[in-house]
């Protein structure tokens, strides 16, 4: 069993499935000024299309899944689909996180060279190109009729990491805690990599923890530093991209206990 508080918290947040590799609850994280993020409201994940019947049942029943926010690009969705979730009775919103709304919406264009990439720079580009979809994701999360909500991309690291960081920063989770959550994907990266490399959209991935699959706290800390330097933080960025003050407060109420 974990012996330090951070490890114990991480253990509490992981949810293991047979054929989904990177699922964790965004609950239990400390918030500046008091409180913690709520368990059972929002989950982050890798891609779902290989889920078993038992995996689907667990998400729908004990975890109460009502909404899936799919951050993949349209060609990924077309090739890979949703597996058993296509007819699971949940609301699926495809809200691609991308470098530019005008760019070619092909998975290969997300990172043309998977072995060499400045991830902090990439995350900034994904943020800049996805304001409408990130705001729409927030609006789904604050709707009580849509919860619980799970959002995912392919690995559940980059596009998922950007959305998770925006949500958590907006409600006051400290940067080092957000970076710690981001780095937890290291615990599942080999499994995620092996699964994705066998799928048509992602063949040719580098080894785990290299290139596009690298995961370090410094990447997320750099992204958050730039977010605050350039925009005043996620809350101000959301407001500048169309979220209202009342919606921002609703996000805090939904995510913070």
Q: How confident is the model at residue 7 (pLDDT cuts 50, 70, 90)?
A: low
Give a yes or no: residue 180 inside a domain: yes
pLDDT of residue 105: 55
Give a yes or no: residue 20 inside a domain: yes
Mean pLDDT of 12-23: 94
Give a yes or no: residue 154 inside a domain: yes
Q: Look at the chain and count its residues.
A: 257
pLDDT of residue 48 exceeding 90? yes
Mean pLDDT of 161-174: 98
pLDDT of residue 114: 66
pLDDT of residue 209: 87
pLDDT of residue 3: 43
In this predicted model, which residue has the larger pLDDT, 209 or 177?
A: 177
User: What mean pLDDT, rounded, does the chain reach?
Assistant: 91
pLDDT of residue 234: 98
Give a yes or no: residue 82 inside a domain: yes
Distance from chain centroid for Cα 62? 21
Q: pLDDT, tens digit, for every residue of 185-219?
A: 999 999 999 999 888 888 888 899 888 899 999 99
Task: Give dist(CA 108, CA 79) in Å, integer.
Answer: 13
Give a yes or no: residue 73 inside a domain: yes
Give a yes or no: residue 225 inside a domain: yes
pLDDT of residue 224: 98
What's the total number of domains in the chain?
1
Portion of the chain with pLDDT greater than 90, in percent: 81
pLDDT of residue 153 exceeding 90? yes
pLDDT of residue 40: 96
Q: How confident is the model at residue 161 (pLDDT cuts 50, 70, 90)?
A: very high
CATH at 176:
3.90.190.10
pLDDT of residue 1 exceeding 70? no
Give a yes or no: residue 151 inside a domain: yes
Q: pLDDT, tens digit, for every residue of 102-151?
A: 655 556 666 666 667 899 999 999 999 999 999 999 999 999 999 999 99
Write down the pTM of the prediction.
0.93
Give a yes or no: residue 257 inside a domain: no
**Domain extent at residue 88:** 5-252
Instruction: Print the SS3 string covering the chain.
Output: CCCCHHHHHHHHHEECCCCCCCEEECCCCECCCCCEECCCCEEEECCCCCCCHHHHHHHHCCCCCCEEEECCCHHHHHHHCCHHHHHCCCEEEECCCCCCCCCCCCHHHCCCCCCCCCHHHHHHHHHHCCHHHHHHHHHHHHCHHHCCEEEECCCCCCHHHHHHHHHHHHCCCCHHHHHHHHHHHHHHHHHHHHHHHCCHHHCCCCCCCCHHHCCCHHHHHHHHHHHHHHHCCHHHHHHHCCCCHHHHHHHHHHHEC
């Amino acid at each position: 069993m974990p012996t330090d508080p951070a490890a114990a918290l991480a253990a509490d947040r992981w949810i293991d499935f047979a054929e989904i590799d990177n699922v964790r609850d965004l609950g239990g994280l400390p918030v500046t000024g008091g409180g913690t993020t709520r368990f059972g409201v929002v989950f982050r994940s890798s891609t779902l299309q290989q889920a078993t019947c038992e995996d689907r049942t667990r998400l729908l029943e004990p975890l109460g899944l009502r909404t899936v926010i799919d951050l993949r690009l349209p060609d990924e969705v077309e090739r890979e689909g949703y597996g058993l979730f296509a007819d699971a009775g949940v609301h699926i919103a495809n809200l691609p996180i991308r470098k530019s709304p005008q760019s070619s919406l092909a998975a290969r264009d997300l990172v043309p060279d998977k072995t060499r990439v400045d991830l902090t720079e990439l995350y900034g580009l994904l943020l800049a190109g996805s304001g409408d979809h990130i705001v729409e994701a927030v609006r789904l999360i604050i709707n009580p009729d849509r919860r619980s909500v799970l959002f995912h991309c392919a690995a559940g690291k980059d596009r998922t990491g950007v959305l998770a960081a925006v949500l958590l920063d907006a409600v006051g989770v400290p940067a080092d805690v957000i970076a710690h959550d981001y780095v937890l994907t290291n615990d599942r990266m080999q499994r995620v990599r092996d699964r994705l490399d066998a799928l048509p959209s992602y063949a040719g991935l580098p080894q785990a923890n290299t290139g596009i699959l690298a995961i370090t706290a410094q990447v997320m800390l750099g992204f958050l530093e730039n977010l605050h330097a350039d925009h005043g933080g996620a809350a101000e960025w959301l407001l500048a991209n169309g979220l209202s003050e009342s919606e921002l407060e609703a996000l805090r109420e939904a995510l913070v206990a």
